[in-house]
Amino acid sequence: SDVLLSTVITVVAIILALGLFMVLPYLASLIFRPLTGEGIVLSLIEGAIRMLIFIGYILLISRMEDIRRVFMYHGAEHKCINCIEAGLPLTVDNVRRASREHRRCGTSFLLYVMLISIIFFAFIQTDDRILKVVLRVVLIPIIAGVSYEFIRLAGRSENPVVRLVSRPGLWLQKLTTREPDDEMIKVGIRSVDEVFDWEGFLKENFAGGSREDTGSED
């Protein structure tokens, strides 16, 4: 059935993701073990390998035409949210002028999962290699939780330090978003219309606004 097929595909995708981004970097880092021994340095090398695999994966899939279109829709989504959060109504002109980077993006979340995992695994040491692999899997929910809380903080904080630490995520979004065309922007606006009362949000948080307003990006 379709449900069974979808479940199998999801499980396989999760296993492949864990293998590619968590287990493979650890195994690859063992090449450097004779030079560094066990410890923080080897964990940092593992983290660097994990980051290279992650960025390489994004660069590779971005060469696919369908994925490039997905990234354009991703950009449209960000532009819509940034437009609303700037206090402007959702019009094509307003959305087009908005930034396509956003501090609460899932791309940033994944990046901070990678970075925070480096910290975790640098200080959680064991000589048992099998246990090391197991820890890299079972600690994912905790690492993801910490990363999520940071993304939430970054999204609402104007603290200079938080904004500085958020920059790598914004830089990475230059790879996972593209400038959308007007039709994609219209799709983004319609999508937001379906799930969020943005007009009510503007009335509650700003000085009103209507679809006829054009405004400009800060």
- Residues (pLDDT < 50) of the chain are 208-218
Spatial separation of the C-alpha atoms in residues 204 and 114, rounded to whole Å: 37
The C-alpha angle with vertex 70 and arms to 83 and 63, in degrees rounded to 5, equals: 125
Q: How far is CA 75 from CA 50, 95, 146, 178, 204, in A?
A: 25, 10, 26, 5, 26
Q: Report d(CA 134, CA 128) in Å as an integer.
A: 10
Q: How far apart are CA 28 and CA 35, in angstroms?
A: 14
Q: What is the pLDDT of residues 193-202, one digit of tens each?
A: 999 999 999 9
pTM for the structure as a whole: 0.81
Model pLDDT, residue 154: 86
Domain ranges of the chain: 2-205
Please answer whether residues 44 and 122 qualify as being in contact, where contact means their C-beta atoms are separated by less than 8 angstroms. yes
Q: What is the pLDDT of residues 167-214, one digit of tens each?
A: 999 999 999 999 999 999 999 999 999 999 999 999 998 864 444 443
Q: How many CA atoms are closer than 13 Å to the CA of 112, on its beta-carbon side? A: 27
